[in-house]
Chains A and B, each alone.
Chain A
Amino acid sequence: MSGVLQSMRSNGVLGLNRRNGDYILKMNNRRFFPLVDDKVLCKERLQERGLAVPELIALASYMQQASHLGELLGEHNEFVIKPAHGSGGDGILVIKDRKSDYFVDSDGQLVKRADLEHHLTNVIGGLYSLGGQPDVAMIESLVHFDPAFSDLTYHGVPDIRVIVYRGYPVMAMVRLPTRESHGKANLHQGAIGVGVDMASGITVGGVSGNSVVSVHPDTGSQIAGFQIPHWSRMVSMAAHCFEAVELGYLGVDIVLDEELGPLILELNARPGLNIQIANRRGLRHRLDAVDQLGQVNESPERRVEWACQAFGDPQPDLLNQAPW
């Protein structure tokens, strides 16, 4: 037991207690939390900075609006309903098609209009919000993920999570939806986490839950060695988010749209630690490396350059052959 502890420590594994005590409490000023916890506000902030986000179709903040679904949706046949203050992916409903009063969700199941309205009232009532506070339901346009990912995903949209520490992107992973996760990209709902090399954007291997996987369980494709398109742009966008919300320890979720390119889906002030398992690497050595830079106000571009050099693997091909 103490051997495991020792080796986890020397490998720089970050635990929840230290993440909360030494990083979130110190680096993330409470004042700025609403900027990420409120997804509507967050979207506005990111747009002000010129960062691309999925288009917001409508907001529903009153119960009565739920019954006027037609007006809210307008001509949109595909959309996503999200609680503005949701966490962990709860309460997100993805609709891919619409036939008069019937909707089709990401699993291809039919959803009645009344069910959809009820879901909206639940969201507005605060069922999914952090403190049970009344919430706002966001209706966003659906992201059409880049076909590059089609071999690596089952329904739903894969997303890229980048941990940005004091403005420096330090670690990244791709989250691949599976049948088990019902098209959602959240690891605790059954999605696969795949480590990504910072410099090249090439995947290195995946985990499902806490166990290592080498092929996607639903498509059978090899997970490692996949080049993520638009990688350098994604890393740069992630680094820019630091200026937008001023949180020192930040998780940035990016999706890749077929036509619009990388879009920032949401930001997270308390990003999870599974990214370490996906990358088979502890976070702390990288966080320490950033801390050693001291207080320097560099441009996002300079930060990305430094991070890719510091954290990128010089020989990503070798990693691909690692026995995952």
Chain B
Amino acid sequence: MTRNRQWVVLSVLLVALGSLTFAYKVVRLGYPVLPDQTSEQWIVQARLEIEPVKGPVRASLLLPVRSTGFAVSNESFVSRDFGLTVEEDLFRRQADWAIRSLDANRTLYYRATLIRDTRQSRFATRPEIPQAPQLEEPWASAMADLVEEVKTESADVQSFAAEVLDHLSKDSDDANSKLFLENVESPLDRARLAQTVLAAAQIPSTLVHGVMLKNDVQRAAVHSMLAVWDGEDWLLFDPETGHQGRPEEFMIWWRGEETLAGVSGALINDLQISVKKRMTSSLELASRRTELKDSFIGRISLLHLPVQTQSVYEVLLLVPFGILVIVLLRNFIGLSSFGTFAPVLIALAFRETELVKGILLFMMIVSLGLVFRFYLERLRLLLVPRLAAVVTIVVLLMTAISLISESMGAETGLSVSLFPMVIISMVIERMSIVWEERGAIISIQEGLGSLLMASLAYSVISINVLEYWVTVFPEVNLIVLGLIVALGRYTGFRLTELIRFRQLAGKDPA
């Protein structure tokens, strides 16, 4: 590869690296693209009230498993005096409370904070082929007929399961189904019945149970769904409606035939599940999600720095955007300024003062500074002491402006302290040289040009989204760097040159 083309590769690499990291954080880690976005989180609480009977008391509660849709970001147990152990494997988690003796009713609490999680994960292992149910007549032949009938109406596991549920629905007028539906009272019964039919067709299935996370509910109902194995993945069906797919708000808590809570040596007086919705900033959620995943990219985040340091970096990381503007203005438009990047520093100061007030303050300091500079010129001070005197005068002017505006009750005057005083002194010095060498008009023109560039740089770095992006996605600066590298090889005309050389356009003089 020739050296001449390396910049293309470098630039593309930098832009790609920056964009991919950005995309990864947004899509996989769920960092919000725009600031001030909020997302929901839910506090789910299981309240188990037990009444002791005799001897040692044990109570167990199944805990939410890792599955598609939601993730537990935080959980806690309240169980005074009880010993607590949590068993967990990949698809099942259970809390066990135990106490040697208990003399009064007791309430045990489990509380979990759940956040949305876009990752796909299974809630059960690959199942075995189920055993066909052993039924007596007339059920056995009714089952065989039903399976036959459904088979002819379906193409694959998915449509088979949907057809089964259709045949078993409440208003089914199929004679075979009616025979089975006699004892069906709840959705759970219907789901179990569907499981039997599926087993007869040698299709593995299981039940999943959970709650709907939607609004605040004091006593949330447990919903059960039928999960059917299609050979590759679990398909969820609503046993009542036959709809396929997990409803968005359905949080899978546990699976299988087990009950949510079990006790020994006591009775369950009450088991209550309550759901509470809360809004939190998406950013907070994303960082919590990142912690759960222990992602490397997530760990190198500015958000881990102390807040004050963060705000310093927020400013620093904005500088490349300002500089990109300067590159565009100089090499593409053809503007020039006092000091190559001085406008960026002035623009950073404008962030604190706001644009109009910033421009006024800047012009005030520079013009007062110029007056003093011309006076100093008459004293014939040597260069460095004169510059030092100008810096000192600028500092004093800034202090004076702050004091005056404070006494007048205007707050913007105070932010004048953020102006880069050395840069302003250099601008004053350069302006006065140009003033003497090329006249007042050109000097003022160039001064205003610098101010214009500062304003344009400010209008870019003051975009709210950028400020947020550089802190949350510092990698956007890689994109900026890639762009700057690419712009660095632009050898075409500058916009102002179209005017400067306009006489050379037109008829071919050669």
Contacts and interface: CB of A to CB of B under 8 A. Distances in A.
Interface of A: 1, 3-5, 7-8, 10-13, 15-18, 20-22, 63, 90-91, 114, 117-118, 121-122, 125-128, 188-189, 207, 210, 212, 273, 276-277, 280-282, 285
B505 A127 contact: no
Contacts of B382: 63, 121, 125
A38 to B, nearest CB: 19
Given A63-B382, A91-B437, A127-B433, 9 more contacts: A5-B498, A8-B504, A15-B493, A15-B501, A16-B497, A17-B492, A125-B384, A210-B503, A281-B509
Contacts of A212: 503
B463 interface: no
Interface in B492-508: 492-494, 497-506, 508
Contact of A13 (B383, B438, B501): B501
26 contacts: A1-B498, A8-B497, A8-B504, A10-B508, A11-B504, A11-B505, A11-B509, A12-B510, A13-B493, A13-B505, A15-B491, A15-B493, A16-B334, A17-B491, A17-B492, A20-B491, A21-B490, A22-B491, A63-B382, A121-B383, A189-B438, A210-B502, A210-B503, A277-B500, A280-B509, A282-B504
Contacts of B508: 7, 10-11
Contacts of A126: 383
Interface string B21-48: 0000000000000000000000000000
Contact of B383 (A1, A90, A114, A125): A125
A17 B502 CA distance: 17
Contacts of A13: 493, 497, 501, 504-505
B502 to A, nearest CB: 7
A118 B376 CA distance: 12
B5 interface: no
B19 to A, nearest CB: 27
A176 to B, nearest CB: 18
A277 B331 CA distance: 20
A321 B502 CA distance: 21
A189 B497 CA distance: 19
Contact of A127 (B383, B438, B493, B497): B383
Residue from A13, A90, A207 with most neighbouring chain B CB atoms (10 Å): A13
B126 interface: no
Contacts of A17: 331, 490-494
Q: Which 3 A-B pairs have the closest CB atoms?
A: A125-B383, A18-B491, A15-B493
A281 B510 contact: yes
Contacts of A7: 505-506, 508
- Interface SS of A by simple majority: helix
A13 B382 CA distance: 44
Nearest to A20: B491
B299 interface: no
A118 B510 CA distance: 50
A137 to B, nearest CB: 12
B383 A4 contact: no
Interface string B304-332: 00000000000000000000000000010
B503 A277 contact: yes
Contact of A4 (B331, B334, B433, B498): B498
B142 to A, nearest CB: 81
B63 to A, nearest CB: 65
A4 B506 CA distance: 7
Contacts of B383: 121-122, 125-127
A8 B498 contact: yes
B489 interface: yes
A282 B493 CA distance: 13
Contacts of B500: 210, 277
Contacts of B433: 90, 127-128
A18 B492 contact: yes
Given A8-B493, A15-B491, A276 B437 contact: no
Nearest to A122: B383
B437 A90 contact: yes
B489 A21 contact: yes
A285 to B, nearest CB: 6
Interface string B475-493: 0000000000000011111
Residue from B334, B384, B489, B501 with most neighbouring chain A CB atoms (10 Å): B501
A121 B106 CA distance: 93
Contacts of B497: 8, 13, 15-16
Nearest to A274: B500
B504 A280 contact: yes
Nearest to B332: A17
Nearest to A19: B491
A277 B501 contact: yes
Contacts of B506: 7
A206 B500 CA distance: 15
Given A16-B334, A17-B491, A4 B380 contact: no
Interface string B242-281: 0000000000000000000000000000000000000000
Nearest to B498: A4
A269 to B, nearest CB: 18
B354 to A, nearest CB: 32
Contacts of B503: 207, 210, 212, 277, 280
Contacts of A280: 503-504, 509
Contacts of B505: 3-4, 7-8, 11, 13
A11 B334 contact: no
Contacts of B331: 17
A92 B491 CA distance: 33
B439 to A, nearest CB: 9
Contacts of B438: 188-189
Interface string B433-463: 1000110000000000000000000000000
Contacts of A282: 501, 504
Contacts of B380: 114, 117-118, 121
Nearest to B438: A189
Contacts of A16: 334, 494, 497
Contacts of A18: 491-492
Contacts of B492: 15, 17-18
A174 B153 CA distance: 96
A90 B380 CA distance: 19
Contacts of B437: 90-91, 189
A1 B502 CA distance: 10
B277 to A, nearest CB: 56
Contacts of A20: 491
A31 to B, nearest CB: 18
Contact of B491 (A10, A21, A91): A21
A15 B494 contact: yes
A179 to B, nearest CB: 13
Nearest to A128: B433
A91 B331 CA distance: 27
B468 to A, nearest CB: 34
Nearest to A280: B509
Contacts of A63: 382
Contacts of A125: 382-384
A121 B438 CA distance: 20
A118 B489 CA distance: 43
A11 B501 CA distance: 11
A3 B506 CA distance: 9
